[in-house]
Amino acid sequence: MPSFVKSAIKGIKKYPEIFSALEEFEKTKRIRKFSYRKRLDITIDEQMLNKFKKYCREKGLNMSRLIESYIKKEIS
């Protein structure tokens, strides 16, 4: 079983933003958000947008999260 130190070093290498957040917490006593979301302005066909909104509403889906998942699939 790996030691705590080895696990911590592995975690810091894999997720350096967590370590920097902990450093910042030591200084400010506040934790910043790890995930920042940006607003996106795009232009699409109005009828398609209306259908997509209706689809998401009926299925109880978050439009932004669904679009984000489609983007992830496309760029992977």
pLDDT at position 54: 97
pLDDT at position 4: 85
Q: What is the pLDDT along the chain (76 residues), one digit of tens a residue?
A: 568 888 888 888 888 877 777 888 888 888 776 667 788 899 999 999 999 999 999 999 999 999 999 999 999 8
For helices 46-59 and 63-75, give the axis angle rounded to 10 degrees. Answer: 110
Distance CA(71)–CA(76), nearest Å, equals 9
* Domains of the chain, earliest start first: 1-35 (no CATH), 37-76 (1.10.1220.10)
pTM score, two decimals?
0.53
